[in-house]
Amino acid sequence: MAEKGKKFLHLPYTVKGMDVSFSGILSNIEKQAPHLISSKQYAPEDLCYSLQETIFAMLVEIKKRAMSHCGSQEVLIVGGVGCNLRLQEMMNIMCEERGAKLYATDERFCIDNGAMIAQAGIEMFQSGTTTPWDLVTCTQRYRTDEVEVTWRS
């Protein structure tokens, strides 16, 4: 639907350092959508377009900041959202402006992060990091930057 949108609605844009917050943007659009659509001010496609453009701009901004911080000249897009050609396009524009290289894989490798999670588990196990079964938990909002990397020196 976003591909068919033409009219942009300004939405909350929350970037702090390399952190983003999507909660405000989703609440905002959920609150406004019924009126905006019923009044014909915006089509559903326009709202999808606005949501996509805003969120992807936030992702590109934090990636650009991370590249500067780390001195990186490469970007690899993975995960389910990595299939989105608009994200790939926006990220590629940023990379071209910086003289960097974008690597975007096709759908076969972008559907799920399960393989990446499994690889991290293998690396942790092989380095001696284990968790007793009775202490295992699932944390939906687990931050990857809080993982202690024990398999590299």
Distance between CA 104 and CA 93 in Å, rounded? 13
Confidence tier at 149 by pLDDT (50, 70, 90): confident
Cα dihedral angle (39, 44, 48, 50), rounded to 10 degrees? Answer: -30
Can you tell me the distance from the alpha carbon of 106 to that of 83, in angstroms, rounded to the nearest whole number? 6
Are 108 and 80 contacting, i.e. CB atoms less than 8 angstroms apart?
A: no
Give the per-residue pLDDT at 42.
97
Q: What is the residue-averaged pLDDT of the chain?
A: 88
Give the other-Cβ count within 10 Å of 46's Cβ.
20
DSSP assigned state of 80: G
Please report, for residues 18, 119, 124, 140, 141, the alpha-carbon distance to residue 130 in angstroms, rounded to integers and kept in the order given.
Answer: 29, 14, 7, 20, 21
Element housing 50 (H / E):
helix 44-70
User: Is the pLDDT at 94 greater than 70, yes or no?
Assistant: yes
What mean pLDDT comes out for the span 105-117? Answer: 69
Please tell me the predicted confidence (pLDDT) of residue 122: 87
The residues, ordered by sequence, that sit 6+ positions from 71 with a Cβ below 8 Å of its Cβ are none
Residue 118 has what pLDDT?
78
Q: How confident is the model at residue 2 (pLDDT cuts 50, 70, 90)?
A: very high
Higher pLDDT, 105 or 94: 94
Q: Is the model's pLDDT at 80 over the cut of 90?
A: no
Averaged pLDDT, 92-106: 93
pLDDT > 90: percent of the chain: 56
| pLDDT at 81 (0 to 100) | 84
pTM recorded for the entire structure: 0.73
Selected residue with higher pLDDT from 124 and 92 = 92
